[in-house]
Amino acid sequence: MSHTHHHRHARVSVGRLKVAIVCVLVLAADGWIFKRAARGPEIKAMEVAALIGIPWVLAGAWGLCTRKGWGRALMLGVIYIGSFAGVVTWLAAMTGDPGPLRDRATPLIAGTGVYAVCGLLLSKSRDVRRLTSRALE
C-alpha cells in the first residue's frame, strides 16, 4: 500500500515539475517578446500581452501546484490566447510593411512556438492532469 502511495506522490511531483518548466519557458518567452519583439508602435500590443500574461500564468501555475481544478484551465487559456495573439500580430504586421518587423519576427514566432509547445505539454501530460483529477490517483 505504501508503495502505491509513494508512486502516486512521485507522479504528482513530476506533474509539478512539468508545470514549473512550462512556467519558466512561458515567462522566458514573454521576456524575450517584451524585450525584442515589442519595440515600436506597430507591435505595442505584444508588450502589453506579455505583461498581462505574467501574473495569470503564475496564478495558473500556483493553482495547478496546489491542485485546484481551475489552475490548468487558467494556464491553458492564457497560453493558447498568447499563441493566438502572437500569430495574429505576426500576420497583421506582415500585411503591412514587413521592414519594421524584420528584427522582431524571430522572437515573436519563437515565443509563439514556445507557447504552443507548452500548451500541448499541459494538455497532453497525464502527470499534469493528475494534479487536478483525483480519479487518476
Fold of 2-136: Four Helix Bundle (Hemerythrin (Met), subunit A) (1.20.120)
Cell representation of residue 82: 498568447
Give the N- to C-terminal CA distance of the chain in Å, as an integer.
13
Residue 130: partners with Cβ closer than 8 Å, 6 or more residues away: 8, 11, 12, 15, 136, 137
Interval 67-78 mean pLDDT: 87
3-state secondary structure of 12: helix
Confidence of residue 1 (pLDDT cuts 50, 70, 90): very low
The pLDDT value recorded for residue 21 is: 93
Q: Domain boundaries in the chain?
A: 2-136
Q: CA 10, CA 126: separation in Å to the nearest integer?
A: 13
Q: Is the pTM of this model over 0.85?
A: no
The predicted-structure confidence for 12-47, as pLDDT tens digits, reads as follows 888 889 999 999 998 888 887 777 665 665 566 667
Q: CA 86, CA 31: separation in Å to the nearest integer?
A: 14
3-state secondary structure of 127: helix
